[in-house]
A and B are shown apart, each in its own frame.
Chain A
């Protein structure tokens, strides 16, 4: 088909992982270009001049940035398992929860995991409110997408996997089986999906990375170089 797909990303990033899961779901072959976020390449600056962040998908040389935008693009462009639901109302709901996770949950969970003392108490309270909403939204479904993973599951990858790794390093108790049994079970199912498992960064890489962060507290502010 003469099609060229490249992904500029960083393997430790949950935003990057979202796109890799989506491409895998659609059976798309692509070249992965690892970006050194401490030293951004001319390639990244050329293809995402507005935000200068990864992931950036390059399809036949044309760039698409912002992971949520990329996920919708991948869903529309390639055949295979659907990422978004078919029905307009369900699509609107999926988009709503995906945006909720991105706009609210990411930073709140990050802060809850990394802060200390009184600040952490408050941060955990805030995270609890948000996780409760997700727990309720999940209801009795296996995945947010129903029987199979969909947009919301993919966007929630940070919650399913990264949060656990950070908790292991910091000892924070943000997402636990006792507090959120449904979400906890969903996380387990999600990371055990063969497609997801293949694309998640190795757990010890993540914990290693987070242990380093623990030693450098001024790098802990939520300032993702990734979207």
Chain B
């Protein structure tokens, strides 16, 4: 798409940002990565681009912002139609992909965050919750190579970024996701073989260090 300007306003550790990075990479789109310092100060630029939520990621295409990661992924798929389709073409498969994407947004992230933010009974409940969700997703994957079937797509993109945070969840929660969901971990490794994924995901050890910093900053030790 000649003469097109694409900027991604993002934060290196954000699972939601990673989704958009993967989608852009899948489509081979060149873009400017603008890092937002979420640890310290939200920039005026972010407030301007996402006045409603003031959150990243924000995809800015020819000056027009698209907020919410899964909405941005769909937008990328619809604009750059020619290459690497992300959503299934069949409406029913598409609906299933959207359903599970919505499920991930509502459940996986919240449980995960509580694992490192809380202790005791609340933490235990979050661990159980996370495993339950991952098991459901594992069921949805079945014996397909990707959630999209033979090809990597929307739902794979929606979920795989959680892998950057898995080490953090497992370390603070003192449990192993691989033990509970081996098929899912197998799928993660398959996804990581793709350059679009491996280059977009944050280093799990760096994420862990970030969380140590955040816990200290917010008195959550």
CB within 8 Å of B: which residues of A? Answer: 50, 59, 62, 64-66, 68-70, 72-73, 76-77, 88-89, 91-92, 95-96, 99-100, 133
Contacts and interface: CB of A to CB of B under 8 A. Distances in A.
Given A91-B75, A92-B72, A100-B52, A77 B91 contact: yes
A133 B52 contact: yes
Contacts of B61: 89
A92 B69 CA distance: 11
B119 to A, nearest CB: 26
A73 B78 contact: no
11 contacts: A50-B136, A69-B102, A70-B95, A88-B75, A89-B61, A89-B66, A89-B75, A92-B74, A96-B67, A99-B68, A100-B52
Given A91-B75, A91-B78, A73 B67 contact: no
B99 interface: yes
Contacts of B64: 89
A65 B103 CA distance: 11
Contacts of A91: 74-75, 78
Interface residues of B, number: 22
B89 to A, nearest CB: 10
A154 to B, nearest CB: 16
Contacts of A72: 94-95, 98
B102 A68 contact: yes
Contact of B78 (A62, A64, A88, A133): A88
Contacts of B94: 72-73, 76
A64 B99 contact: yes
B71 interface: yes
B114 to A, nearest CB: 18
Given A99-B68, A99-B71, A69 B52 contact: no
A59 to B, nearest CB: 7
Q: A-B pairs with the 10 shortest C-beta distances? A: A88-B78, A73-B95, A92-B75, A76-B91, A69-B98, A92-B66, A64-B95, A95-B71, A69-B99, A88-B79
A55 to B, nearest CB: 13
B102 to A, nearest CB: 6
Nearest to B78: A88
A96 B99 contact: no
Given A50-B136, A92-B74, A95-B71, 7 more contacts: A64-B96, A69-B99, A89-B66, A92-B72, A95-B74, A96-B68, A133-B52
A8 to B, nearest CB: 15
A213 to B, nearest CB: 25
Contacts of B52: 100, 133
Contact of A69 (B67, B71, B75, B95): B95
A34 B99 CA distance: 22
Interface string B84-112: 00000001101110110011000000000
A133 B136 CA distance: 36
A66 B66 contact: no
Find the residue from A59, A62, A66, A77 having the highest chain B CB count within 10 A: A66
B103 to A, nearest CB: 7
Given A88-B78, A89-B64, A95-B71, A62 B92 contact: yes
A68 B105 CA distance: 14
A70 B94 CA distance: 11
Contacts of A95: 68, 71, 74
Contacts of B79: 88
B130 to A, nearest CB: 15
A50 B91 CA distance: 20
